[in-house]
């Protein structure tokens, strides 16, 4: 039976289901109680970070030598540390450090990784080969060592920075509690993973007929990337970013734990854990609070990222 072409070609937007991948993903996410709980926790954490000076009962550096290493009480809900500082207040201010590292570092990673991955996968050929060699070589660099070396370099240079641009950097560093080095170091090494991921996805998408179709209809490369390639690459990027957030938090806390991260008295959860280690026996509350906060936060991001992956994965929708 010979079929005639329909008068109007149905557009992609009007699939029978009438709902976009994003909408369906959100539907599935809403049915996952752990994901919702995690999302609520993260939103709450962001609010705490934004409102830190208002919520915190004391200043994060307010020393009270009459109340040293006190157990939790009505006055100090989570007790005080070895300098008589309120643990709860430091914990609250610490959310700013953790979240800013997570989001700023991820932003830098995306800004470098996504364009390079898109270009490398889309253009292909010799350009792709060169980019892949660079990525391969940098991949051999042990990432934590790279972060530590680059961070030391940036921090030492910030101390001697001059000129208008240098001044700006020094101020930016002060505003972030000495974290500028951590941001940049994390961004400079972890874009590799994103670039690889994006490239692999682009290579997959590129083989689809609708790309050829778009090209034969006269779409420019830029239009094809923006309208057809990028939207398809977006879901894995979202998942990778969500799972990258806890990784950045974990590394910052680790570096601060070793005394390489934030500059005291800026409270970082990692620094609080390190400070509490010597008095672990007599005053376990000091270490418990930041350790639990850190683990819960990482847990929430990982649960959310996991649920997002399941929600976006087209295989799961069958």
231-238: long-range contacts, CB 8 A cutoff, minimum separation 24: 232/201, 232/205, 233/118, 233/198, 233/201, 233/202, 233/205, 235/21, 235/25, 235/312, 236/197, 236/198, 236/201, 236/312, 237/110, 237/114, 237/194, 237/197, 237/198, 238/308, 238/312
**CA nearest neighbour of 81 among 285, 235, 259, 254:** 285
Residue 142 lies near another protein (rule: CB under 8 A): yes
Q: Is residue 235 involved in binding another protein (CB under 8 A)?
A: no
Distance CA 155, CA 44 (A): 32
The helix/strand/coil state of 268 is: coil
Shorter beta-carbon distance to another protein: residue 211 or 261: 261
Span 111-140, contacts to another protein by CB under 8 A: 136-140
| Binding status of residue 254 toward another protein by CB under 8 A | yes
According to CB under 8 A, which one of 26, 29, 284, 313 is a site residue for another protein? 284
Say how far apart CA 251 and CA 303 lie, in whole Å. Answer: 18
Least Å distance between CB 35 and another protein? 12
Name which of 103 and 141 has its Cβ closer to another protein: 141
**Of positions 132, 141, 206, 214, contacts another protein by CB under 8 A:** 141
Nearer residue to another protein within complex by CB, 184 or 224: 184
- Burial state string for 221-234 with b = 16 or more CB within 10 A and e = fewer than 16: eeebbeebbbebbb
Give yes or no for residue 29 binding another protein (CB under 8 A). Answer: no
**Which one among 159, 162, 217, 218 touches another protein, defined by CB under 8 A?**
159
Query: From the list 27, 157, 220, 317, which residue makes contact with another protein (rule: CB under 8 A)?
Result: 157
List residues binding another protein (CB under 8 A). Answer: 136-142, 144-145, 148-150, 152-153, 156-157, 159-160, 246, 250, 253-254, 257-258, 260, 270, 273, 277, 280-281, 284, 287, 291, 294-295, 298-299, 301-303, 306
């Amino acid at each position: 039976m010979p079929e005639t072409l329909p008068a109007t070609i149905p557009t992609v937007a009007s699939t029978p289901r009438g709902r976009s991948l994003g909408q369906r993903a959100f539907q599935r996410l809403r049915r996952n109680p752990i994901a919702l709980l995690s999302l609520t926790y993260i939103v709450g954490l962001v609010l705490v970070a934004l409102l830190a000076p208002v919520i915190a009962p004391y200043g994060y550096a307010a020393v009270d030598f009459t109340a040293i290493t006190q157990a939790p009480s009505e006055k100090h809900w989570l007790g005080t540390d070895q300098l008589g500082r309120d643990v709860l207040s430091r914990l609250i201010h610490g959310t700013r450090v953790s979240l800013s590292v997570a989001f700023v570092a991820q932003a830098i990673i995306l800004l470098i990784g996504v364009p390079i991955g898109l270009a490398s996968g889309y253009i292909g050929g010799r350009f792709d080969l060169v980019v892949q060699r660079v990525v391969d070589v940098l991949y051999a660099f042990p990432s934590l060592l790279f972060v530590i070396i680059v961070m030391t370099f940036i921090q030492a240079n910030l101390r001697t920075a001059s000129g208008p641009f240098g001044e700006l950097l020094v101020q930016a560093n002060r505003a972030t509690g000495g974290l500028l080095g951590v941001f940049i170091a994390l961004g400079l090494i972890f874009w590799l993973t994103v670039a690889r991921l994006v490239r692999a996805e682009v290579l997959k998408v590129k083989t689809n007929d609708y790309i050829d179709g778009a090209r034969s209809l006269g779409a420019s490369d830029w239009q094809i990337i923006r309208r057809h390639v990028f939207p398809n690459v977006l879901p894995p990027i979202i998942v990778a970013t969500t799972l990258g957030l806890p990784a950045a938090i974990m590394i910052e806390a680790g570096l601060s734990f070793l005394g390489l991260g934030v500059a005291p008295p800026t409270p970082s959860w990692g620094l609080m854990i390190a400070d509490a280690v010597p008095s672990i026996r007599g005053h376990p509350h000091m270490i418990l609070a930041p350790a639990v906060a850190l683990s819960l936060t990482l847990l929430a991001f990982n649960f959310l990222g996991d649920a997002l992956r399941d929600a976006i994965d087209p295989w799961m929708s069958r």
